[in-house]
Amino acid sequence: MKIERQLLIDLGKRETERRAAEADIVSGYLIGSVARGEPQIGGTADIDLVLIHDHKPAAKREVVHLSPEVHLDIAHHDRELYSRPSELRIHRWIGPAMCEPIFLFDPEHFFEWAQAGARGQFFRADHMYARAQGFLRQARSASSILPVTGRWIKIYLKAVMEAANSVACLTGFPVAGRRVILELEAAARELECEHLADNFLSLLGAGALQSWSTPELLSSWARAFDAAAQHDHHALLTPPRREYYLSAFQVLAEEHQTQALIWHLLRTWETSIHTLESLGIEPEFKPAWESLLDELRLSSEWHAHRQDQLMEFLEKNQRWIEHWAERHGA
């Protein structure tokens, strides 16, 4: 079923206005795939809504079920976050999000004022370079705790993605969402950065997926997700997110883009297994997960090797960014 973009925008606007009538909402705007005009895969979509509160919000993130095909993914921000807009233009995520959003609610023109300050000179080379360096710092910070973390896969995935976005953001915007790997490949082509997407996939062992039965793989993922979702209210594990990810995984597999599902598959599966371990009910679900990690060479005996590869990726990206900065006068 095709979901019209305007319907998604209207749903976001309706939710924002409803909440503004009941709470301290200053502004609301849409970001993500709906704002970019590419909201659905496999007949499912999420609406990335940002609500700015007059005071510190009780929660930072919330997922709201609207239908089996559509849900709201709401970020709650304190207006204080926007008090120095010129600084936000170099924030690696908020700056790009504020650059091309869809305005939904802004009666006091607060967001309009903040956006004008953040978007001014957004594409100036030194500001783009600063955002790239921000991604590199986050990647290095994550990689530094890999030897001591109890959730190695989670932190490793974060470091790999932050490292990839250090280069990808030089298109103007970082990559994210269910199309993240396809977007990364497009960014690599646009920037003529030959190593970016290939190294990213290599760090995840994505080539090994070709030897797996996709239906069996997704069935094992879904069983773990369903079991964890019964006990955890993590934003990644809510029922709307199940179909949201599963439909995308199935479409990518049908389009012979199996490698393109690997990052989100690992991230959501790791969250499910972590929840099940905390409850002591993981034995039934862990063998399939561990078998996948073995195939991808992400199991514990490969950790030191993968950390070395990650550091090589970071250094390669750092050199590429410095060359970019020289060419563009940053």
Tell which residue, 72, 91, 90, has the closest CA to residue 13: 72
Looking at the chain, list the stretches that DSSP marks H as alpha helix, in order from N- to C-terminal side. Answer: 5-22, 32-36, 85-88, 94-99, 110-119, 125-144, 152-168, 180-191, 196-203, 214-229, 239-254, 262-279, 286-296, 303-328
The per-residue pLDDT for range 48-62, each reduced to its tens digit, is 999 999 999 988 999
Instruction: For residues 152-165, give the mean pLDDT.
Output: 98
Q: Helices 180-191 and 196-203 sit at what angle, rounded to 10 degrees?
A: 150
Instruction: For residues 151-166, give the mean pLDDT.
Output: 98
**pLDDT for 230 beyond 90:** no
Going along the chain from its start, the domains and CATH numbers come out as 5-119 (3.30.460.10), 125-315 (no CATH)
The count of residues in the chain is: 330
- List the Cα angle 165/36/8 in 5-degree steps: 130
**DSSP bridge pairs for 77:** 52
Tell which residue, 228, 239, 234, has the closest CA to residue 276: 228
Per-residue confidence band for 8, with pLDDT thresholds at 50, 70 and 90: very high
DSSP at 304: H
